[in-house]
Amino acid sequence: MKKLLMSIISLGIVSILLIVILASCSKKEETTLVIATYGGAWEESLRKAIFKPFEDSTGIKINTSVHTSDFAKLKAMVESKDVIWDVVDVEGDVHARAVKAGLVEPINYNIVDSKPLLPEAIDSNGVGIVIWSTAIAYSEKAFPNGKAHPTNWAEFWDINKFPGKRGLRKDPYGTLEFSLLADGVNKDSLYPLDVDRALRKLDKIKKQIIWWETGDQQPQWLASGEVTVSSAYNGRIWAARAYDNQPLAIELGQGMMDIEWWIVPKGSKKRDVAMQFIAFASRSLYQQNIPKYISYGPVNKDAIEKIDIKLLSELPSAPRNFNKQFLANVEWWANNKDRVLEKWNKWLLE
């Protein structure tokens, strides 16, 4: 009887242990990381180069949420302590503003290896993903057989020489810089931005502008002929040409380079998993895969050295392209975006 009782107790203990183990495994399997990105071809490239390998390696599922440089939404999440994004992919100005506003968790560099990363891509509150550019894009249907196309922002503004609608971002970030370049300001003398001068120059083509708000709209509108030329993310145009056989091209001269960043919202309930993901995404093996799917330049120095020369030549950060462009001054924008937005929004309604 005693032996039977001991057997029952032992079975009970084993059963409890099995339940605990299974619950633990189930919990691990159900771990999900929510990453907010800009969607479209950019998100697809991240999924192939980084998200899928991370899921396969760790068993952690990645769900994505599309945003459009939504600083206000990030701010509201953090302040309400209702943070639903675990990792956010942001442009340089959003990163700088978020850090200034105290909305970001510090990066744990005991987990993330910063040694192989470019110095420009290392910040106490963020880790760079890629270097990309916003530049002049056009359809080769509109400019067939080598026909002259706008090669700088002054020509982009020249409606008489190059008739047709213009696509520009419905945001002052970048758009004001391009307007000043069109007005003759040297790329090395852009900052601090003369906002009033930029808006006056925009007035000259305001009726010809169709404002885009997402990266997907850029190639769609060029391919359909809705706009003749447009400011555009170089990777979106590359992807439309490579994957959809669209006859689109981009002119990197006077393009605005930016660093894309991983940030972790303050109050994230999955901070440690988020750091694990960022560490994984920063490794050479996965960084060197990104340009295979979209033409943005890695920030991992080891990865850059392993990229095929032909592919490297199309990247904004390649030596042959770097000096043609300028790097966005995100610190200036962090200190001035709210003021500029107020003036910008008023101008849009005029």
Place of tokens 């706009």: 227
Across the chain, how many H-helices and E-strands are there? 17, 11
Element containing residue 298 per DSSP (H, E): strand 297-298
pLDDT at 3: 47
First to last CA, the chain: 92
Which class in CATH covers the domain with range 134-256+332-349?
Answer: alpha beta
pLDDT at 10: 47
CA 262 to centroid of chain Cα atoms: 9
Count of C-beta atoms within a 10 Å radius of residue 169? 22
Which class in CATH covers the domain with range 32-131+259-326?
Answer: alpha beta
Q: Where do the domains of the chain lie?
A: 32-131+259-326, 134-256+332-349
Place of tokens 């490794």: 283
Please list the ranges in the chain whose pLDDT falls under 70.
1-30
CA atoms within 13 A on the CB side of 91: 26
Tell me the torsion sign for CA atoms 70, 74, 77, 83: positive
pLDDT at 319: 81
Give the integer Cα–Cα distance in Å for 49 and 55: 11
163 cis-preceded (ω within 30 degrees of 0):
no
- Note the pTM of the prediction, 2 decimals: 0.83
pLDDT at 30: 59
Name the β-bridge partners of 166: 209, 229
Domains 32-131+259-326 and 134-256+332-349 share a fold: yes
**Among 143, 31, 144, 132, which residue's Cα sits nearest to residue 90?**
132
